[in-house]
Amino acid sequence: MSYQIGERYIGSGESEGEIVLHITPGNALGAYLDGARITVHANAQDATGDTMNDGEITVFGNTGDATGYAMRGGKIFVRGDAGYRLGIHIKQYHEKMPKIIVGGRCGSFLGEYQAGGVILVLGLGSEDRVPVGRFCGTGMHGGRIYLRTEHLPTDLPAQVVAETASQEDMQEIGSLVKEYCERFGNSPEDILSSRFYVLKANSNNPYRQFYVHN
């Protein structure tokens, strides 16, 4: 099967097999993905992994806005940067643990309304500045955001707390960094020698009680 540049919904709902692309696909790449693997040797556009349930998407370039929208499981690896609203509404239930790993920077509203799962932003090449845009974690009520940085955002909302990553956090971060480096050829030791912070929902957040996993 061949695909045209910009074609939408490639791999939508696929539960098995592997799709390898050497073009820039259209929006909603891997929407509702349910176990298949997708590799993009180019950039991806908006809504990559929309409502993804399982499987894996690897992007060797950058990805657009709303990557991982309402993601429920599986993993997304992005070598470069991501646009606005990455991880918006991602959620977790029992063994389903969505994970998004971005090597570069992310735009504003990262993790908006996040209810579960893990987002890791490495900020490679942007060590002199905050690796995320404005309003990070707005509406967040579960899950974790890990940031590799010396420069925390100064406009975090009241429902988000930032702490230095714990030893337990670093074990999880180390595992994800290793997977990232296996795909893109970076050095895990170089990346893990940096400072990491974890962003979580404030324990006083009144919305936490309405969600199973926090």
Spatial separation of the C-alpha atoms in residues 189 and 99, rounded to whole Å: 21
pLDDT at 208 over 70: no
C-alpha–C-alpha distance, residues 114 and 158, integer Å: 14
Q: What is the mean pLDDT of residues 164-186?
A: 97
pLDDT interval class at 214 (50, 70, 90)? very low
Q: Is the pLDDT of residue 4 over 80?
A: no
- Beta-carbon contacts of residue 28 (< 8 Å; ≥ 6 apart): 8, 9, 12, 46, 47, 48, 50
Q: Is the pLDDT of residue 32 over 90?
A: yes
Q: Is the pLDDT of residue 140 over 80?
A: yes
Confidence of residue 70 (pLDDT cuts 50, 70, 90): very high
93 pLDDT more than 90: no
Whether 6 has a pLDDT exceeding 50, the answer reads yes
pLDDT of residue 204: 67
CATH numbers and ranges of domains, the chain:
18-210 (2.160.20.60)
Higher pLDDT, 90 or 6: 90
DSSP state of 209: G
Which tens digits make up the pLDDT trace of 39-57?
A: 999 999 999 999 999 999 9
